[in-house]
Structure formats: C-alpha cells, structure tokens
Amino acid sequence: MTSAAPGAPPAASADPLQPGRLGLPADPPLAGLRRLISRVATLCWVELRKIRHDRTELYTRAIQPALWLLIFGETFTRIHAIAVPNGIPYLDFLAPGILAQSTLFIAIFYGIQIIWERDAGVLAKLMVTPTPRAALIAGKGFAAGVRSIVQAAVIVVLSAVLGVAMTTNPLNLLGVAVIVVLGSAFFSCLSMSIAGVALSRDRLMGIGQAITMPLFFSSNALYPERLMPGWLQAISKVNPLSYEVSALRGLLIAVPTNLWLDAGVLTGATVAGITVASLLLPRLAR
Amino acid sequence: MQSHGTDQPRSAPTLAVDAVRCAGLRYRFGAHVAVDRVDLLIAPGETLGLLGPNGAGKTTTIRMLTTLLKPDEGTVTVFGVDAAAQPMRVRRLIGYVPQSLSADASLTGWENVELFARLFDVPRHVRRRRVAEALSAMGLAEAAQRLVKTYSGGMIRRLELAQALVNAPRLLVLDEPTVGLDPIARADVWEFIAGLRRSSQTTVLMTTHYMEEADLYCDRVALMHHGTLRATGTSDELKAGLGEGATLDDVFRHYTGGTLDDDSEQGGIRDVRRARRTARRLG
C-alpha cells in the first residue's frame, strides 16, 4: 500500500545540492576551531550568569572543604600523624588537596546535569544548534571549570584565613586557575562519559558516589605518595587527581614537582575525556 | 487509498525547493519499527500538522528531520539539504521546540534567548536587537529580565519559541507545542504562532494529538499511525472524503481503524504527569 508512494514527484530526484558541491562554500580551515572557542565561551558565560543568579551553592559547597581543613587538617597537624615533605605544617600540605577534591566533587555533578538536560529536552535543543558534539562537551567541561575557579577562590581565602602559608604571586595564582580548569574539565568529561554509558540519573548517582571517594583516597590529596603501600602508589600514578594535587602544591606552597608533567597529564586526560564523552553523547540523545 | 495526490503543495508547481522532503523514511528501535517508509512533502511557507496518538512515530520522524537520529533507510531533506549528510547545515535552517518545557529556569528570559543567539552565531552587532525582537514578538519584552522560574507554562513555551526564532529559521519544528498547557495558555501560544506566520514566511511542522487545533491552525495535516503515514491533505479535503458532517476525528478513525479518543485520553494522563514533572523541575 505504501509501496506506491516512493514514486514521488521527480522534481528533486536529481538532487542539486550534492554535499560540498553546489551548496554553500565549504567551511574555511579554522572555522571549526573558532566555533569550538565560541561555543566554549558561550557555555562558560551561561555558567557565570547562573552563579550570579544563585550563589547558595557556592556557600553550601564551601562547608565540606571547610570541615576538612578545620577539623581533619587542624587535628592531623597537631598529632603529626602524617609525615609531610619539607617540614611544612600538615594543614599547608592538605589545603591544595582539599582544593582539588572540591573541584572533583563539582565536576562529577556534570554527568548528572547532562542526564537531567536529556530528560528535560534541553540536550536535544542544544544538539539541534550548529554545535559540534565535541564543542558541546568541551563547553560543558570548561563551564565546570568556571564554577570550580569560583569555588577555588573561596577555598584559597579560607586557607589563608586558617594561616596556610600560600603564595601571593599572581602568576602562580593564574597557574592554579589553569590547573583547576583542566582538572574540572577532565572529571566532568569522565562523569559525562559515564552518563553516556549509564543513561539514567539514579544509576549515575550511584556510580558517581562509588568513584569519587576512591579517586580521592587513591590520590596524594591527603598523604604523600611515598607513605602509600605499593599497590596504592601504582593507582595514584595513573590517577589524574594526583597530578592536579601535585601541580596545585607546587604552585601554592612550593612543594617541588614537575609542573610540565602535571599540566601535560591533565591536558592529555582532558582531551581524551572530551573525545570519549562526545563519542558517547549520541547514546544519550537517542 | 493513499491520498497521494494531496501530497503536492497546493500552490501551483514552483521552482522553489521543498521545505521538507521525506522519502522512504524508516527507523527501527531494536525489533520495533517506529517509522515505516514515510513519504512527506512540505511546501515553503506551509504549516503542516503531523497527527497521531502517542507512539505513532511523530517524534521519531521529527528527530530524524532535526538531525538527532540518522534514518535507517530513506532520506530527509530540508530546503534541499540532506539531514543525514549535512547535519550542521540543516541545523542552521531550523528552529526546534521540543515537547517538554525546556527553558533554563535558573536564567532570565533574555539570557535563555541570548544563549541560542550565540549558539546560532548571530553576529555580535545585531545580537541585542535580535534577542529583543524575538522576545517582544512572543510578548515577553516586559518579563525578559525575570528568572524563568517565575514564568507560567504558557510563558515558558513562548520563550522557547523566541529561542527558536532568534536565528530567523526557515523551518520551525514544534513537537506538541501546547501539550501540558491549560486551555487559555494553549490559545495564547497559538495566537503567537499564527501572528508569526502572518509576519514571516516561516514554514512550520508541528506534531499534535489535539485534532481541533490541527483543524484550526494547519494548512494541511498528515495522519500517522503505527509508524506509517495513513493520509495527507487539507483538513477539509479529508473530511469531505468521508461525506457530510465528518470531523477530523472521524477521518482519523477512518484511516486508522481505531479511535483517537482512547489514545488521547491516555495522552491526557501523560500530559498531566509531564506537566507535573515540569512544574516540579521548575520549582
């Protein structure tokens, strides 16, 4: 019955718009990059507007790091249970670790957000704009970075109030911002990748909680790597959070580290994360 | 039985390329064939209503047209551009409003529209003007600086239309534009869509399962059931084919063998649920 239909009017059967032929001119070579930057800037702008409209999350998210620094940090500084390098107070050693932890917790939320956006139809609407999948993911990743920078500023101030001897060198602080953005972008892409596999909010909440603490404890955020048992050291070596913490320690409290290695690992992880998450994105849109 | 002849645009043959052309469109979810060999033409400037109960394949068809899904078989072109082959170019031609109320409640109305202006690369020097125009065209100029969480359902739907319009799309795709809205808000949204059609040449493709709305506002309707297109034509043509006093509901029953009532009742319950979910989300 419907088989009669394919004999559609012949008018358009000789399709005049062969891909890349007679249509609009092909994109200039740098158009893709420009679009990527433009989309990332746009999604970061949205994030800043959201933070401006509602600052409560900024305060509620400051509570947990404050507890870590105030209670855990102060206590362990007093009992000298953890031998940290260069004879610095434990609280100083801990502060960059907590900074990295709180950006990790922010970033992990973005996978839940993208599933929420899928359920609400927001994701479909975004994907019907001329925005490549990778630009959408990168934009969300760097938006997580923007939120993390604002959060990081709160924690840096808090640490300074608690007497952590941190640098005031603006170049170092700029470096901190870069590392925080890279770390958040990676972990939010990790979270969005998991979202592309888990596909439901409940499942993702479970997975998110199941991985954040292991990521945190298997990093050098709370204790130096050389105090860990061998197997944990091996995990820490492949845990990007360790490189984020090392870089932050190097920049903030001058604990020697290979900054180029740290930044390189984080950049590589971020690029890999964006790639994997954008490959999994169509699964969410189905 | 296929009302194939009415597939032709009513306006005499033109050289203008079809706004939408689906040919042999097919999509499968596992073993379930959601869309089965659909052929459909929409002329530029036309408003076509895609009718059918929930699960008829309307949304899947729209998702292929909006480049969200790649067809398993067949092609869909928008103003001559193949949606599967050149998705980026097709996206620049369309404005899309999904079924659920999907504006960002934590931003203002202005910011919601500006976001889409940026995503569509509306140049910076015209952006402010275009955002303002889209908002005022949808009657939201006054509320533009308020957070969307303070908007009513009808206002959010109009805001979504403004988001879709800021790019001056040639094809507007509306998936159940009035679902979950109260009757007053529904009439309100329709009034704005009708006003938009009067002031621009935008082609509109919408899905709905409200027969009376399709009857009132669409140039032509296409009836879809179990993934296939059962009939297309103007509402009057289809009704006339059944004889004196027939309604679109009768037409639908004639072509599908079922009543839409059962389905629309079911849809009613789903609407309520969806509206509740949206209300919760928007706090």
B94 vs A contacts (CB less than 8 Å): 128
Residues B66-77 have a mean pLDDT of: 94
B164, closest residue in chain A (CA to CA): A125
A54, closest residue in chain B (CA to CA): B106
* pLDDT in the model for residue B258: 61
ipTM entry = 0.85
- DSSP letters of A143-158? HHHHHHHHHHHHHHHH
Sheet order of strands, B32-42 included: B32-42, B20-29, B73-78, B81-82
* pLDDT in the model for residue A86: 75
Residues B5-24 have a mean pLDDT of: 65
* pLDDT in the model for residue B192: 86
* pLDDT in the model for residue B271: 47
| Interface contact A79, partner B, CB < 8 A | no
Residues A169-205: tens digit of each pLDDT: 999 999 999 999 999 999 999 999 999 999 898 888 8
* pLDDT in the model for residue A133: 93
Nearest to A81 by CA among A179, B53, B255, A72: A72
Looking at the partner chain, which of B1, B7, B111 has a beta carbon nearest the beta carbon of A1?
A: B1
Q: What is the dihedral of CA B188, B192, B198, B204, to 10 degrees?
A: -110
* pLDDT in the model for residue B214: 87
Looking at the partner chain, which of A2, A12, A128 has a beta carbon nearest the beta carbon of B2?
A: A2
What is the sign, positive or negative, of the torsion defined by CA atoms of B66, B72, B75, B81?
A: positive
Question: Could you say which residues from 217 to 276 on chain B have a Cβ atom under 8 Å away from some Cβ of chain A?
Answer: 228-229
| Interface contact B3, partner A, CB < 8 A | no
Assess contact for B53 and B267: CB atoms under 8 A: yes
| Interface contact A283, partner B, CB < 8 A | no
What is the number of CB-based contacts under 8 A between chain A and chain B? 121
A132 vs B contacts (CB less than 8 Å): 88
* pLDDT in the model for residue B243: 79
pLDDT at B264 exceeding the cut of 60: no
Lowest mean pLDDT among A32-36, B52-56, B85-89, B135-139: B52-56
Percent of chain A with pLDDT over 90: 71
Instruction: Work out the minimum CA distance from A40 to partner chain B, whole angstroms.
Output: 10
- DSSP letters of A178-212? HHHHHHHHHHHHHHHHHHHHH-SHHHHHHHHHHHH
Question: Could you say which residues from 92 to 131 on chain B have a Cβ atom under 8 Å away from some Cβ of chain A?
Answer: 92, 94, 96-102, 104, 106-108, 111, 115-116, 118-121
CB contact under 8 Å between A121 and B99, yes or no, is yes
Residues B34-61 have a mean pLDDT of: 92
CB contact under 8 Å between B8 and A9, yes or no, is yes
B70, closest residue in chain A (CA to CA): A286
d(CA B220, CA A236): 64
Residue B68 — very low, low, confident or very high, per pLDDT cuts 50/70/90? very high
User: Going by DSSP bridges, is the β-strand pair B171-175/B203-208 parallel, antiparallel, or unpaired?
Assistant: parallel
Structure tokens at B160: 């979504």
Residues B242-247 have a mean pLDDT of: 80
Residues B238-248 have a mean pLDDT of: 82
Cβ-proximal residues to B198 (8 Å cutoff; 6+ apart), any chain: none
Residue B122's Cβ-side half-sphere holds a number of Cα atoms within 13 Å equal to: 24
Residues A45-85: tens digit of each pLDDT: 999 999 999 999 888 988 999 999 999 998 888 888 888 87
Helices (H), chain B: 58-65, 87-91, 109-119, 124-137, 153-165, 183-199, 211-217, 235-240, 248-256, 260-282
Residues B270-275 have a mean pLDDT of: 48
d(CA A241, CA A260): 15
Bridge partners, residue A270, by sequence: none
Lowest mean pLDDT among A150-164, B90-104, B207-221, B249-263: B249-263
CB contact under 8 Å between B39 and A8, yes or no, is yes
| Helices and strands per DSSP (H, E), number in chain A | 11, 0
pTM: 0.85
How many other C-beta atoms lie within 10 A of the C-beta of residue A246? 26
Q: Decide which of B193 and B94 is more confident.
A: B94
d(CA A9, CA A243): 63
Structure-token match 């009532």, residue found: B261
Structure-token match 């509320």, residue found: B143
CB contact under 8 Å between B41 and A8, yes or no, is yes
d(CA A278, CA A274): 6
Question: Could you say which residues from 1 to 20 on chain A have a Cβ atom under 8 Å away from some Cβ of chain B?
Answer: 1-6, 8-9, 11-12, 15-17, 19
B99 vs A contacts (CB less than 8 Å): 121
Backbone phi, psi, residue B246, to 5°: -75, 145
Question: Could you say which residues from 103 to 122 on chain A have a Cβ atom under 8 Å away from some Cβ of chain B?
Answer: 119-122
* pLDDT in the model for residue B280: 53
pLDDT at B238 exceeding the cut of 50: yes
How many other C-beta atoms lie within 10 A of the C-beta of residue B22? 25
A80: left (phi over 0), alpha (psi -120 to 50) or beta: left
Instruction: Work out the minimum CA distance from B262 to partner chain A, whole angstroms.
Output: 26
| Interface contact B23, partner A, CB < 8 A | yes
DSSP summary character for residue A13: T
Residue B265 — very low, low, confident or very high, per pLDDT cuts 50/70/90? very low
Provide the CATH topology of domain B17-282.
Answer: Rossmann fold (3.40.50)
User: Going by DSSP bridges, is the β-strand pair B220-225/B47-51 parallel, antiparallel, or unpaired?
Assistant: parallel
A55, closest residue in chain B (CA to CA): B106
Structure tokens at A215: 């990521």
Most confident of A20-24, A79-83, A214-218: A214-218
Assess contact for B178 and B190: CB atoms under 8 A: yes
CB contact under 8 Å between B100 and A121, yes or no, is yes
Domain spans, chain A: 52-285
Residue B184 — very low, low, confident or very high, per pLDDT cuts 50/70/90? confident
Question: Could you say which residues from 32 to 71 on chain A have a Cβ atom under 8 Å away from some Cβ of chain B?
Answer: 35, 38-39, 42, 45-46, 49-50, 53-54
Assess contact for A180 and A145: CB atoms under 8 A: yes
Residues A217-275: tens digit of each pLDDT: 999 999 999 899 999 999 999 999 999 999 999 999 989 999 999 999 999 999 999 99
Distance of CA B105 to the CA centre of its chain: 22
Domain spans, chain B: 17-282
